[in-house]
Amino acid sequence: MLGEFNRPGEYSVYESKFNIFDAIAQAGDLTTFAKRNKIYLVRQTESGSKVVHLDLNDIGILESEYYTIMPNDIIYAQPVKGKNLHLENSLILLFYNHLHNPFTYQFFQNKLTLY
């Protein structure tokens, strides 16, 4: 499990009917930054590795041959583009009042400060 999972890593599967949703749940679900329509599964075949695009928003995934997870499958959850712009503990917003006087508000650790 790679990419935008709450607990990415390697997981052992001991069930024969283990599906993509079971795998995501085992990894603690997708983060809020995961593109649910851009999940990639890498499966080893006799001819080499095959990369398959999965859209978790599409009900058709339930009928896909890639719905069931196989041994050595790798699942990658792609992040949204805005993740790089996210500020974890600090968010600065700039507001203008009706006279166009700028006020800067800074949110830091759940506290609001006016500058």
Q: Is residue 62 within 8 Å of residue 55, measured between CB atoms?
A: no
Give the Cα separation of 68 and 70 in Å (integer): 6
CATH number of the domain where residue 59 is located: 3.10.560.10
Q: What is the pLDDT of residue 83?
A: 59
Instruction: For 25-36, write each residue's pLDDT tens digit.
Output: 999 999 999 999
65: in domain: yes
Is residue 85 scored above 90 in pLDDT? Answer: no
Is there a domain that residue 105 lies in? no
AA identity, residue 44? Q
Q: Order across the sheet with 34-45: list the strands.
A: 2-3, 74-79, 34-45, 48-54
| 26 part of a folded domain | yes
Boundaries of domain holding 38: 2-80
Domains identified in the chain, total number: 1
Is residue 52 domain-resident? yes
Dist CA 58 CA 14 (whole Å): 27
Q: Is the pLDDT of residue 15 over 60?
A: yes
7 within a domain of the structure (yes/no):
yes
